[in-house]
Amino acid sequence: MSHTLPTHVGVVMDGNRRWAKKAGFASPGAGHDVGAAHVEDLLEWCTRWRIDHLTSYVLSADNIRKRPKSQVEHLFGILTEKLPRTVVRSGRWALHVSGDLSLLPDDAADALRGAERETADRPAHLTMAIGYDPHGDIVEGIRRALAAGATEIDEQAITAALPGGPVKEIDLVIRTSGEQRLSGFFPWQTAHAEIVVSEKLWPDFTAADFANALELYAARQVGDVAG
């Protein structure tokens, strides 16, 4: 593996429903369950390659409003029972949530906030987009900057006020399922990011695929320097 690694990786974990259909499950919830369990693997990969800043797209505000009620309720269960425990159990990752938790049931919001508190002093930082709206993210950053007494609302003030860990700028975005779009994934933080699209559905995405994305990123950095 090249020494030119990203500091901060973003992952759009797409393809869970298609995976469930392809695998013959009647409910897309099976794909979401497997996809949620796969987050533990992702944390291990980042630890292996000494990546201490990770952002993942879990659930957008639009998905909460537009998907069938049964699907959304299943996702709320994952947010209550599974993902917070995965982060706490890791022993290494501090959880940060970016999004509108008022869109979630109280038990899901409480579980996520509890995991944030329990993991606050850890050395690595995981930001999860939950109830996330890209425009709302930037607006909230401006509001926080103003509330903090910023005398000048510039790029640095807004960036510092955005939710998430201490390193906000995302260097590499990996999107699974072959879709050639970012779907509103942290537009402020990904302004200078490299993008790698994998044809694999998220539950099928492997450590080798992750390593390949890191190699592609490193090759592009070498190319930029050479150019």
Kindly list the strands in the beta sheet with 93-98, ordered across the sheet, starting from the edge strand earlier in the chain: 93-98, 124-132, 53-60, 8-12, 172-175, 194-197
Closest by Cα among 109, 97, 79 to 165: 97
Predicted confidence at residue 150, as pLDDT, reads 83
The answer on pLDDT for 224 being more than 80 is: no
Quick check: 87 and 124 in contact, CB under 8 A? no
Which are the catalytic amino acids? Answer: 14, 63
What does R_g of the chain's alpha carbons equal in angstroms? 17
Predicted confidence at residue 225, as pLDDT, reads 52
Per-residue pLDDT, averaged over 128-154, amounts to 93
**Domain-by-domain residue ranges, the chain?**
8-131+167-226
Quick check: 9 and 193 in contact, CB under 8 A? no
> Using CA atoms, how far apart are residues 128 and 84, in angstroms rounded to an integer?
10
pLDDT confidence band for 17 (50 / 70 / 90): very high
The answer on pLDDT for 2 being more than 60 is: no
The answer on pLDDT for 36 being more than 70 is: yes
Q: In terms of pTM, does the model score above 0.85? A: yes
The answer on pLDDT for 195 being more than 90 is: yes
- Joined tokens for residue 77: 């269960």
The answer on pLDDT for 226 being more than 90 is: no
Per-residue pLDDT, averaged over 200-222, amounts to 96
The answer on pLDDT for 223 being more than 90 is: no
**Arithmetic mean of pLDDT over the chain:** 95
> Using CA atoms, how far apart are residues 51 and 7, in angstroms rounded to an integer?
6
The answer on pLDDT for 3 being more than 80 is: no
- Cβ contacts of residue 224 below 8 Å, gap of 6+? none
C-alpha distances in Å from residue 145, one per residue of 34, 132, 138, 139: 38, 19, 11, 10
Per-residue pLDDT, averaged over 137-165, amounts to 92
**Check whether domain 8-131+167-226 has CATH 3.90.1150.10, yes or no:** no
Of 36 and 222, the structure prediction assigns the larger pLDDT to 36
